[in-house]
Amino acid sequence: MTKYIVHGGKPLFGEVEISGAKNAAVAIIPAAILVDGVCRIENIPQISDVTAILKILEQLGASIRSINRHTVEIDSRHIHTTRTSYELSRKLRASYYLIGALLGRFGRAEVAMPGGCNFGGVRPIDQHVKGFSALGAGVTTEGGYINAIVESGRLTGANIYLDVVSVGATMNIMMAAALAQGDTVIENCAKEPHIVDLANFLNSMGADIRGAGTDTIKIRGVERLSGGSYAIIPDQIEAGTYMAAVAATGGQILVKNIIPKHMDCITAKLQECGVEVEEQDDTLLVRRTARLKKANVKTLPYPGFPTDMQPQMTTVLTLAQGTSLVTEGVWSSRYRYVDELKRMGARIQVDDKTAVVEGVEKLTGAPIQAYDLRAGAALVIAALAAEGESEISNVQYIERGYEDIIGKLRALGADIRAVEEPDEDALSTAQIS
């Protein structure tokens, strides 16, 4: 079992290169199933979610050729099954994109119920199912699998109005409709940068999708997608996490390889807290020299403040002067990490969707546990800012979404290292038997 050991209390200085976006990569890789040819995908982040999704494609019969650390070629011409591995698919939320991709290309899909981070309840997919059904598929759940099938073998375009703004449903329906017979209109869509990225990827392979990034997406179904080359956008949330880290520790860092427009919702909030942010081409210079100021934050679909930055931002606010209010507007709960921050001296009260954060002068290091990906990132930030040593366990969650977080932070001067430790539960079982 890997743990991170952090000696905090040091400001960060230097440069950090942002990797490709996790939430775009985990959709674009399954979307390669729709392509009857070879697609080359560049700027793929090296994270465990990507490894898992590539492995699922390989098991379906796609050939995956690694060109370099961040580029793969996927050839989906010889896919021989539409049933995914139960063990692998249930590990990640993004496996639900395999339904849209397999259904769109082959008219059927059998995909294990998705996993991913648990925010205190199930992560529903009723809007995805509503979309697939409108396109003519029958969808049932049996033995832990979601089975979708269209008897004629090809979906038919339809008008779909989403009841809730859902990133996953927007992307999944877009994939399924790309090869459908006729036109599809999706209304009340989500507008996240990764939605635009998926549409751009599909269009570069021959799809006809317009309006991604607005609340109405129009898809004219095409007969076939052929191969091509595409580079994934930089990760807005990874960039935001490093910005939040320097906000918490103080110092000055240059965040490189970003799209500044995607960062506006995060930049504006950090500036409100007194962090200085200067934009230059595809970089942001982020500096914090004075004490942080309080701010109120509400997470909302893009271009609102992202829910995937809520734990990191709440951590920054634990060190701000005054009392801040954080409201989670996307998930019913995403505050499991708060108890861990309290072990470090943070003062936070959670009432349903709201966290009241009373800023403290300093945090102190402690043994803490990550419960999900962004909660883990938040704890790393807290440990970097805290005085003394912290030991972070369950870091496999962090590695789902952050490429080489240790190397990148060490290059900024952080004292953080990964250590392998025997699993205590396994040890005690071994001793008993």
Ligand X SMILES: C=C(OP(=O)(O)O)C(=O)O
Residues within window 334-373 making contact with ligand X, judged by CB under 6 A: 373
125 is in an annotated binding site: yes
User: In the complex with ligand UD1, which residue's Cβ is closer, 167 or 412?
Assistant: 167
Q: Which residue is nearest to ligand UD1 (CB)?
A: 168
Judged by DSSP in three states, 402 sits in: coil
Q: Are 370 and 336 in contact (CB under 8 A)?
A: no
- Determine the 3-state secondary structure of 243 from DSSP: helix
Q: In the annotation, is 265 catalytic?
A: no
Annotated binding residue 22? yes
Strand ranges in 63-134 using DSSP code E only, listed in sequence order:
63-68, 71-75, 108-112
Size of the site for ligand X (CB under 6 A): 10
CB closer to ligand X, 225 vs 245: 245
- The reply to whether 23 sits in an annotated binding site is yes
Site membership for ligand X, residue 374 (CB under 6 A): yes
373 binds, among ligand UD1, ligand X, none (CB under 5 to 8 A by kind): ligand X
Cβ 8 to ligand UD1, closest distance in Å? 26
- Tell me: does residue 117 bind ligand X (CB under 6 A): yes
Q: Is 128 in the site for ligand X (CB under 6 A)?
A: no
Instruction: Give the side-chain half-sphere CA count within 13 A for 344.
Output: 37
Chain residues binding ligand UD1 by CB under 6 A are 23, 93, 124-128, 164-169, 190, 192, 301, 306-308, 330-331
Q: How far is CA 127 from CA 160, 197, 399, in A?
A: 10, 21, 29
Chain centroid to CA 246 = 21
Distance CA 82, CA 96 (A): 13
Residue pair 205/39 in contact (Cβ under 8 Å)? The answer is: yes
Determine if 376 is a binding residue for ligand X (CB under 6 A).
no
Site string for ligand X, 78-107 (x = CB under 6 A): ---------------xx-------------
- Is 24 a binder of ligand X (CB under 6 A)? no
271 assigned to a ligand binding site:
no
Binding partner selected for residue 138 from ligand UD1, ligand X, none, CB under the kind-specific 5 to 8 Å limit: none
Pairwise CA distance, residues 281 & 262, whole Å = 13
Strand partners for 243 = none
Runs of H (alpha helix) within 355-404: 373-385
**Residue 94 interacting partner from ligand UD1, ligand X, none (CB closer than 5 to 8 Å by kind):** ligand X
Binds 301, which of ligand X, ligand UD1, none (CB < 5 to 8 A, cut-off by type)?
A: ligand UD1
User: In whole angstroms, how close is the CB of 99 to ligand UD1 at the nearest point?
Assistant: 12
Kindly state the helix (H) or strand (E) to which residue 210 belongs, with its residue range.
strand 208-210
Distance CA 367, CA 6 (A): 10
- Do the beta carbons of residue 338 and residue 350 sit within 8 Å? yes
CA angle at residue 65 from 60 to 70, to 5 degrees? 115
Q: Which residues are annotated as a binding site for UDP-N-acetyl-alpha-D-glucosamine?
A: 93, 123-127, 308, 330
Catalytically active residues, by annotation: 117
Return binding residues.
22-23, 93, 123-127, 308, 330
